[in-house]
Amino acid sequence: MEADSVTASDHGPEAGPTGPPLIELRQVTKVYGLGTAEMQALRGVDLRIGQGEFVAVMGPSGSGKSTAMNILGCLDNPTAGGYWFKGVEVGGLDRDQRALLRRHYLGFVFQGFNLLSRTTALENVELPLIYRRTPAGERHRRAREALAAVGLRGWEGHTPGELSGGQQQRVAIARALVTDPAVLLADEPTGNLDSARSREIMELLTALNRQRGITIVMITHEPDMAAYAGRVVHFLDGLVERDGQPGDTR
């Protein structure tokens, strides 16, 4: 739907669609611990991500990128500042409300795949639909479609132990996709994969972004992987240090 306009504008942050951005962080701070043990993970982050963008988040460990991702993923609340998701202030939501937000709008892909062991690929992909109470018939159909979309048609009955790392990550992506989320949050999705497998996963994510218009926010350490994104956000010491196109990184 919006995929064409997004690809045409080549993901530039200033070239994003008009109207309120999908994700907006304003002066977000996050403090862990109390008193002398206090640790400022974020010290006033401003970030806007538009519908259909593919954003890579980079930065050394301790730079606050994971904390920022947790807040974007509605897994954590900011200590101060505001987070608007689709124009809704997330900071004011309680645990269960944030869970519902995740259930309906967010998809997660992790470095360690985090599939349920001894559970078939199909059942893994069905899991988010179970929490959405999708009826069994539709659940099976959509899970099959999602697996087909990541190139795993015919592997539905295999358990994670019977799949390669790349295939496992594809199952995880299918699990994130099956609910048609507005945003897919990926935390080092290629961190456990070799370079050939990494490229395949990145191509898959790029295709999903271009063809389906799914907004993707991805943490990565590797500039090669960040190069697939339309925009790279660098974190340093709890602040956004640089925000631009992949070419700007070096």
Partner 1 sequence: MLWNSLLLALREIRRNVLRSILTLLGVVIGVAAVIVMVTLGEGATLAVRQQIASLGDNLLIVRPGQHMGPGMSSDAPAFEMDDVQALRRDIPALAAVAPAATQSITAVAGNSNWSTSVIGVDDQYLRARSWTIAAGRSFTGSELRSGKAVCILGATVRDELFGAQDPIGQRVRLKKISCEVIGLLEAKGQSSMGSDQDDLVLIPLRTLQRRIAGNQEVRVIYLSVAKGRSPERAQADAERLLRERRHIVAGEQDNFSVRDMREIANMLTGTTRVLTMLLGAVASVSLLVGGIGIMNIMLVSVTERTREIGVRLAIGAREREVLMQFLVEAVVLSSIGGLLGILLALGASVGLAGLLKVPFVFNPRIVAIAFLFSAAVGVIFGFFPARRAARLDPIDALRHE
Pick 24 or 123: Cβ nearer partner 1:
123
Contact predicate 66/221, CB 8 Å: no
Of positions 128, 189, 213, 230, contacts partner 1 by CB under 8 A: 128
Contact predicate 206/32, CB 8 Å: no
Pick 20 or 39: Cβ nearer partner 1:
39
Edge-to-edge strand ranges of the sheet holding 54-58 = 106-109, 183-187, 215-219, 54-58, 231-236, 239-244
Pick 76 or 243: Cβ nearer partner 1:
76
Residue 159: phi and psi, rounded to 5, are -90, 160
Q: How far apart are CA 177 and CA 181, in angstroms?
A: 6
Pick 80 or 100: Cβ nearer partner 1:
100
From its phi and psi, is residue 20 left (phi > 0), alpha (psi between -120 and 50) or beta?
A: beta
61 lines the binding site for partner 1 (CB under 8 A)? no
Q: Which helix (H) or strand (E) holds 68?
A: helix 65-72
**Hey, which residues between 162 and 201 contact partner 1 (CB under 8 A)?**
175
123 lines the binding site for partner 1 (CB under 8 A)? yes
Q: Closest separation between CB of residue 101 and partner 1, Å?
A: 8
Q: Closest separation between CB of residue 165 and partner 1, Å?
A: 17
31 lines the binding site for partner 1 (CB under 8 A)? no
Pick 133 or 250: Cβ nearer partner 1:
133
Please list, residue by residue across 59-79, b when 16 or more beta carbons sit within 10 angstroms of its beta carbon and e when fewer do.
beeebbbbbbbbbbbbebbbe
130 lines the binding site for partner 1 (CB under 8 A)? yes
Region of 43-51, 71-79, 213-221, 228-236 interacting with partner 1 (CB under 8 A): 71-79
* Residues at the contact surface with partner 1, assessed by CB under 8 A: 70, 73, 75-76, 95-96, 99-104, 106, 108, 110, 112, 114, 116-119, 123, 127-128, 130-133, 175
